[in-house]
Structure 1
């Protein structure tokens, strides 16, 4: 089974989705499973992990409801108020839906560099561990230090790094990012999505070669068992087609056995998210 480990659905709302700016015209509209089905089929992808795009419990329910109608959705990474005193109650309520595999907070939008180590947030992470949910890390460089501290303090929690921590491919920033990746990969409970890269490059002038050193560094750091393919569709459409994202990724998979190739394109994601 080939799995896209990271994509989104939304009914576009200009106020709620203010992060979709005017220069992202290609995605300032609704994106639903009917928009994705033919794309998956033409690219040989069997299913996806639908990841939250807005921060509300209603968003999680929206994705759960879609999953009940569309078999392509193999798992949901929702949003829950991890800092709430009622986090255990919320997780107990969500546990009635086996399709929910984990949760995410858009930490990259948080100005506080220590957001991930706030006491209330850490209590939320501990609750995820208790309920055996995964956590997707979406961060920027200002969060490197607190990310490492959060992971260090939660060795039983399963984490996955979204979009390889979003290196600035457009400006060719590498060294600080590479050091962070090497350090984070030292924690065996952290995995990494090879996803979301085209939007970190020059949207109109990228080449396949721009991405290779970043992807290969992640492979070298995390190994071939803790990485998984994702597109970040439809966000990727501001810079590339779905098949372009696949081509970029495939070009960097050097020295993989057939078994390792299969694991990268689906097996690793299925194991991490506990897909059937």
Structure 2
């Protein structure tokens, strides 16, 4: 089964969702499972992982409700205050939700050093006790910090979202590539091939723009630690779901079928412990 390892749902709130600017007006509206299901069907995707888009306990509850009501949502990556003194008890309570697979914090919006805070590291370490994973959302300048963070936590399954958002529109590769190769040296870290179109020129990108970046992550992580993700509906500011997926389809055209199957679903199912039956 092909799995979209990274997408979002929301009832649009202009205050909470202020990151969705006027130039992103195409996604200034509600996006719910009934909007995504026909798109997944059209593109041959059998299931998805819903990832938090706002940082609140209510966001996790909302996503779990959507997953409970929709069989095609195979997993949820929620949000929790990883510095909370009662974190362990909260995680213990949350284990009752079978589709809750991991957590994410929007580190890209945090100051330098956030990931290395002792309490944050301790909180992420606690995830391993409950077999939860952690999604790393960062910008390229945070790659060194992410490496130092992940190196302390070999017991935690981690995945880098959106190939760490390289500056594709500017064509900058080298510094980002160095950081990604270093992060990929840690065996507990995987990477989502997602979010690329929104880092390119939204109105003038072409598939070849992504090749240098794909070359780096495929060489660094290999076919066993990469997973397809759409970042729908955010991707819609730059491309349709089909156009976005075609970039990866074209890149994978020469790959062995077994490797394509891993990248397009098998790795996500394994990483997130998804129940696909």
What TM-score comes out, normalization by structure 1 length?
A: 0.98
Native 8 Å contact 2:143 2:183 kept in 1: no
1:62-81 equivalence runs, <5 A = 62-81=62-81
Cα displacement (A) at 1:145: 2.0
Residues of 2 paired with 1:154 and 1:162: CA distance? Answer: 18
Note the C-alpha offset of 1:256.
1.7
Cα deviation 1:178-224 (Å, max 9, x = unaligned): 00111011001000000000000000000010011101210010011
Determine if the alignment matches structure 1 residue 114 to structure 2 residue 113. Answer: yes
CA positional deviation for 1:254: 5.5
Q: Give SS of 2:6's match.
A: strand
Does the Cα contact within 8 Å between 1:106 and 1:138 map onto a contact in 2? Answer: yes
The Cα shift of 1:142 comes to: 2.9
Matches within 5 A, 1:149-160: 149-160=148-159
1: CA distance between counterparts of 2:37 and 2:244? 17
Aligned residues: 275
* C-alpha contact 1:212 1:251 (8 A) present in aligned 2: no
**What TM-score results when the alignment is normalised by the length of structure 2?**
0.98
Partner residue of 1:96?
96
Return the alpha-carbon distance in structure 2 between the equivalents of residues 161 and 141 of structure 1. Answer: 11
Residue pair 1:144, 1:180 contacting (<8 A) in 2 also: yes
Unaligned runs of 5+ in 2: none
Q: What 5-or-longer segments of structure 1 have no aligned partner?
A: none
Shift of the alpha carbon at 1:151? 0.7
Q: Could you tell me how far apart the structure 2 residues matched to 1:216 and 1:146 are?
A: 23
The alpha-carbon deviation at position 253 of structure 1 amounts to 1.9
Give distance in 2, aligned partners of 1:24 and 1:40. Answer: 22
Q: How does 1:181-220 map to 2 (within 5 A)?
A: 181-220=180-219
Superposed structure 1 runs of 4+ greater than 6 Å apart: none
**Offset at 1:250?**
1.4
